[in-house]
């Protein structure tokens, strides 16, 4: 049973460029959340998608946008990259009907470096 799959695993981009990160949720899950983890920090919530709609959003600028497809996979797009966007980007999936008690399943992340 495949867990959460994220691609690519590593990425180097130049300031001002745009990037797209991809996530396939765990089989049977319908909800996808994205988190940003800077070095030495805990993951910070970016947004959550359910039924192809953004359900919740954290304190991130509009440069961060996302999408969820009918097969529940998701993309995170970041425009006009800044050096401060360098971080590990984590995707987490869950089944909305189960609730928080069962936790969210995280992928291994995409390491984004902005130079």
Partner 1 sequence: DQQVKQNSPSLSVQEGRISILNCDYTNSMFDYFLWYKKYPAEGPTFLISISSIKDKNEDGRFTVFLNKSAKHLSLHIVPSQPGDSAVYFCAASEGSNYKLTFGKGTLLTVNP
Q: Which pairing describes strands 44-50 and 53-57: parallel, antiparallel, or unpaired?
A: antiparallel
Per residue, what are the HEC states of 58-91? CCCCCCEEEEECCCCCEEEEECCCCHHHCEEEEE
Report the half-sphere exposure of 25 (CA within 13 A, side-chain side): 25
Using the minimum distance from each CB to partner 1, give the nearer residue, 15 or 57. Answer: 57
- Minimum distance from residue 6 beta carbon to partner 1 (Å): 8
Q: Which residues bind partner 1 (CB under 8 A)?
A: 4, 31, 33, 35, 40-45, 48, 56, 58, 90, 92, 94, 96, 99-109
DSSP state of 100: G
Smaller CB separation from partner 1, 12 or 80: 12
Q: Which residues pair with 65 in a beta bridge?
A: 77
Closer residue to partner 1 in complex, CB, 24/94: 94
**Shortest Å, Cβ 45 to partner 1:** 4
Q: How far is the CB of 74 from partner 1 (least distance, A)?
A: 15
């Amino acid at each position: 049973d495949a867990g959460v799959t994220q691609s690519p695993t590593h990425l180097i981009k130049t300031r001002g460029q745009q990037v797209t990160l991809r996530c396939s949720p765990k089989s049977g899950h319908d909800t996808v959340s994205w988190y940003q983890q800077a070095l030495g920090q805990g993951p910070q919530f970016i947004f959550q998608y359910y039924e192809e709609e953004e359900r919740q959003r954290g304190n991130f600028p509009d440069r961060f946008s996302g999408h969820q497809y009918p097969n529940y996979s998701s993309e995170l797009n970041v425009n006009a990259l800044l050096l401060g966007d360098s971080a590990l980007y984590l995707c987490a999936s869950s089944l909305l009907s189960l609730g928080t008690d069962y936790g969210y399943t995280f992928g291994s992340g995409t390491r984004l470096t902005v130079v």
